[in-house]
Amino acid sequence: MQVLNKFLVSSFKKLDLGSALAVRLTKLTGKSKIPIHPKHFLTQTPWFTQYIKKNDIVLDLGCGNGQSLIKASRVAKRVVGVDKDKILLDIAKKSTSRLKIKNVEFETADLEKILKFKNGSFDKIIFLDVLEHLHNRDQILEEIRRILKPKGILFIGVPNSQTSWKKLQRNVGINSFSDPDHKTEFSQDHIRTLLKKHGFSIQHFGYGYFDTPLRGLFDIVGGFSLCTYKKLSLWRRQKAQQNPQEASGFEIVAGRL
């Protein structure tokens, strides 16, 4: 029975590959000029933009192809995007150029190392889906606190390690990480303790989308039909609000003490 359970769970786990396929489908089906995840089509006002003011200098750490940076640039005075991946940075540069966005700049940097920015350089820092990819997590959080201005704000998103789906994977001996590059994932207590340890006070603790083994399949749907994908995503969002412990990730606003 254990072998059968592991086989079934492993089979569902392979649906995660659908997320990578969905990224390519958005371009192939003409929804985007660049390959991006369908989640970026859900809203023009991400959860963190309500906290950004017009005179803010914002840093997007691990900006990738620039989707969060682009949305922040519509509100902030200036946005700096940093990533190690030069290919993704090139996509971000082309996207901002095509959209005629002028208040952005880009830097190549390894987030496992000390950042070059001066103390107190930024009003707000965006740090979404990055911490779990790093080995030096204590160091990067210390660096973020250093380069934030006094009373600056960090927007951080991390994956939840304690959903029923992930526990089931671990129970049958399967790695439950939602991305093979993840070095760790977080319980609510873990991320709260870690942020407090590094001098941050949580101002808002929100929840992402309901975790389900069908996530990758839903993403593929998004590659073909954004209308259907938006309905599925709304259902997942509502389910996560009703069952926070089942949210795939956390959306946290943390102030610098």
Tens of pLDDT, residue by residue over 65-111, are 999 999 999 999 999 999 999 999 999 999 999 999 999 999 999 99
pLDDT of 121 higher than 80: yes
Distance, in Å, from the CA atom of 233 to the CA atom of 229, rounded to the nearest integer, reads 6
- Comparing CA positions, the residue from 118, 152, 112 lying closest to residue 131 is 112
Q: Cβ-count burial of 2 within 10 angstroms (0-12 exposed, 13-18 middle, 19+ buried)?
A: exposed
Q: Would you state the pLDDT for residue 1? A: 67
What residues contact residue 150 under an 8 Å CB cut-off, 6+ apart?
A: 120, 256
Residue with tokens 């940093």, as numbered in its chain: 82
| Residue 159 pLDDT level (bands cut at 50, 70, 90) | very high
Q: Identify the bridge partners of residue 30 per DSSP, sorted by sequence position.
A: none
Q: What are the structural domain ranges in the chain?
A: 2-256
Backbone φ and ψ of 237, nearest 5°: -65, -45
36: its two tokens: 């991006």
> What is the tens place of the pLDDT at every residue in 196-224?
999 999 999 999 999 999 999 999 999 99
Report the CATH architecture of 2-256.
3-Layer(aba) Sandwich (3.40)
| Sequence-distant (≥ 6) Cβ neighbours of residue 79 within 8 angstroms | 57, 58, 59, 60, 69, 72, 73, 103, 104, 105
Give me the sheet containing 78-83, strands edge to edge: 104-108, 78-83, 57-61, 122-128, 148-159, 249-256, 200-207
Q: Identify the weakest region by mean pLDDT among 2-6, 80-84, 252-256.
A: 2-6
Across 115-151, b (16+ Cβ under 10 Å) vs e yields bebeeebbbbbbbbbbbbbbeebebbbebbbbbbeee
What digits encode the pLDDT tens for the residues 185-194?
Answer: 999 999 999 9
Measure the CA angle with vertex 35, ends 29 and 36; round to 5°: 105
pLDDT recorded at residue 44:
63
Identify whether the C-beta of residue 120 lies closer than 8 Å to the C-beta of residue 99: no
> Which uninterrupted H or E stretch holds 137?
helix 137-147
182 three-class SS? coil
Model-wide pTM > 0.85 = yes
